[in-house]
Amino acid sequence: MRVALIHRILRSFFTRMLLPAGLVAAPFAQAQEAPQKLSQVQLSAGMHLIHAEVARTEEQRSIGLMHRPSLAANDGMLFVFDRPGVQCFWMKNTLIPLSIAFVADDGTIVNIAEMKPRSLDSHCSAKPVRLALEMNSGWFAKRGIASGATIGGIAAK
């Protein structure tokens, strides 16, 4: 019982402190080889519909879109954090290039970053947010969606 408790504490520490900073990969994230499949929500960006899987738990967020060989054109992943903070992402074990929009609670895009696959480069929100939306690389730019635009359907998440 004590070993399990210690394992949970260590996993929580690695996930909360080191993993978001891109310093180390949590053991459970490394062991995950098959892509995770999470529940979906429908969002919108202007007239564009988005089918986003929702990553709410620490484990779901740490795995994210890792190990996926592709992502459908209007599919993405919405990361939901418990509290606002400067959220940082990196792409170790992520096989496809992605764009990430850091989003305020009201759905306003704070900033967007382009992320290269299998990279340890850190991409962070310009200010504290609770939400981040990953899509295929260039998805936002190709549709003329930039900082200040609104993601519909996100405020209730």
CATH number for the domain that contains residue 135:
2.60.120.1140
Distance, in Å, from the CA atom of 13 to the CA atom of 93, rounded to the nearest integer, reads 20
Note the pLDDT of residue 33.
73
The residues facing 114 across adjacent strands are 99
- Count of domains for the chain: 1
Residue 121 φ/ψ, nearest 5 degrees: -60, 135
Q: Residue 16 has what pLDDT?
A: 52
- Does the predicted TM-score (pTM) go above 0.85? no
- What pLDDT is attached to residue 157? 55
Residue 154: its pLDDT value, please? Answer: 87
The pLDDT of residue 52 is: 98
157 domain residue, yes or no: no
Give pLDDT tens digits along the chain (157 positions). Answer: 443 434 454 455 445 544 444 444 444 444 447 889 999 999 999 999 999 999 999 999 999 999 999 999 999 999 999 999 999 999 999 999 999 999 999 999 999 999 999 999 999 999 999 999 999 999 999 999 999 999 999 865 5
CA distance 24 to 156: 32
Q: Please indicate, yes or no, if residue 20 is contained in any of the structural domains.
A: yes
Tell me if 41 is assigned to some domain: yes
What's the domain range around 116?
2-152
The reply to whether 117 falls in a domain is yes
Q: Does some domain include residue 124?
A: yes
In-domain check, residue 102: yes
Under 8 Å between Cβ of 117 and 67: no
CA distances from 35 to 6, 115, 142, 151 (A): 27, 18, 26, 25
CA nearest to 95, candidates 119, 68, 126: 68
Tell me, yes or no, whether 129 lies in a domain.
yes
